[in-house]
Amino acid sequence: MAVAAKKKSGNKGLGRGLDALLGDAPRERKGSAQASEQAEPSSGPKRELPIEFLKPSADQPRRIFDKDAIEELAASISAKGLLQPILVRPKGKDQYEIVAGERRWRAAQKAKLHAVPVIIRELTDEETAEIALIENVQRVDLNPVEEAAAYRRLADAFGRTQDEIAKAVGKSRSHVANIMRLLNLPQKAIDALSAGAITMGHARALLGSSAPDQACSIVLKRDLSVRETEALIREAEGEIRSASTGGKNGKSKGNTKVSSAPKDADTRALERDLSAILGLEVAIEHAKKGSGSVTLNYLTLDQLDDICRRLMGARA
């Protein structure tokens, strides 16, 4: 049985990899740990292994395991047993690496199970990484940093494009691009986002700052809301532009004055809409006489190529 499609086929069907391996079990994207991970699979070859034969995978995208959720799942396992098997691959004599189901494995240990049901498959490193990511996205949402790191690994280690990743996990390409941009934040902001000290809204605002590390420190110290963070960064960036041009208004090459005043809600909304469509950071600056500029910021050469293809296609 093929677990993942080859690159030349465009990875069609990757998002159905778990259903193909575990059977068409009903799954809920949200809800309790019992509902999302204790659904009874309709079919699939299973056997039991001693729980100590299993070990976590280095490709597990989830780095933070919620203790309350694990306790809830352990209680369900204690009452009903482990209904959903753990997907593993052999890694030597009496050694199996967990591909999908580390949360269940951890909860099974808390429930004091001596053996657990498993499905054993021969899988490549690439298939393991992809299935681990899909399993986490489908069952329980990863935090944004974990999700971004998983996408980055698929891109860097296995050469996946953003389009391929998006199709594999059932997300839009712009969502994948925007999530991956979070890894450009300074470590302080990444750690704060992982810990829940700031939200995705804060993180998106910090990405627009030329000094995100300092801005993050202020946000954390003052416990600013997302809107307050956006206002802080707009003010700081306006002061930087004013300092660089020697006044409140700068001049473009065509001597068109572009205002550095705070942008109105319609302009910010248009920037967000364009960013969502393009998967890029977009900045709109209005001039006094109705002219202005639209700036697209790319992070990789792939993104630049995508911009060029779109513009040339539109021109044709």
Q: Helix, strand or coil for residue 87?
A: strand
Give the pLDDT mean for 183-205: 92
Residue ranges, CATH 3.90.1530.10, the chain: 7-179
What would the two tokens of residue 54 be?
A: 């299993």
Q: What is the distance between the alpha carbons of residues 140 and 162, in angstroms, rounded to a whole number? A: 22
Give residue 26's pLDDT band: very low, low, confident or very high (50, 70, 90): very low
Give residue 316's pLDDT band: very low, low, confident or very high (50, 70, 90): very low
Q: How far is CA 149 from CA 229, 246, 289, in A?
A: 25, 41, 44
* % residues pLDDT > 70 (the chain): 71
Question: For residue 241, what pLDDT is reported?
Answer: 64
Most confidently predicted of 47-51, 283-287, 288-292: 47-51
Q: What is the pLDDT of residues 142-154, one digit of tens each?
A: 788 988 888 888 8
Q: Which of 50-54, 206-210, 235-239, 283-287 has the lowest mean pLDDT?
A: 235-239
Which burial class, exposed, middle or buried, applies to 132 when counting CB atoms under 10 A from its CB (0-12, 13-18, 19+)? buried
Q: Is the pLDDT of residue 193 over 70?
A: yes
194 alpha-carbon distance from chain centroid = 12
Q: Is the pLDDT of residue 219 over 70?
A: yes
Instruction: Look up tokens 């098997």; give the residue.
Output: 85
Question: For residue 290, what pLDDT is reported?
Answer: 72
**Mean of per-residue pLDDT scores for the chain:** 75
**Which comes out higher in pLDDT, residue 110 or 129?**
110
Give residue 312's pLDDT band: very low, low, confident or very high (50, 70, 90): confident
Q: Known catalytic residue: 97? A: no
Asked if 9 and 122 count as a contact pair (C-beta separation under 8 A), the reply is no
Q: Is the pLDDT of residue 207 over 80?
A: yes
Question: For residue 253, what pLDDT is reported?
Answer: 43
Asked if 107 and 80 count as a contact pair (C-beta separation under 8 A), the reply is no
Q: Helix, strand or coil for residue 261?
A: coil
Point out the catalytic residue in the list 37, 97, 102, 281.
Answer: 102
Q: Is the pLDDT of residue 27 over 90?
A: no
Q: Is the pLDDT of residue 3 over 50?
A: no
Question: For residue 192, what pLDDT is reported?
Answer: 94
* % residues pLDDT > 90 (the chain): 16
Q: How far is CA 161 from CA 48, 62, 111, 166, 182, in A?
A: 37, 21, 41, 9, 17
β pairing state of 86-90 and 96-100: antiparallel
Which burial class, exposed, middle or buried, applies to 33 when counting CB atoms under 10 A from its CB (0-12, 13-18, 19+)? buried
Query: pTM of the prediction?
Result: 0.54
Question: For residue 31, what pLDDT is reported?
Answer: 43
What would the two tokens of residue 116 be?
A: 């657990």
Q: 7-179 sits in which CATH class?
A: alpha beta
Question: For residue 47, what pLDDT is reported?
Answer: 86
* Terminal Cα-to-Cα distance of the chain (whole angstroms): 43
**Which comes out higher in pLDDT, residue 46 or 103?**
103
Give the pLDDT mean for 292-313: 78
Give residue 262's pLDDT band: very low, low, confident or very high (50, 70, 90): low
Question: For residue 287, what pLDDT is reported?
Answer: 74
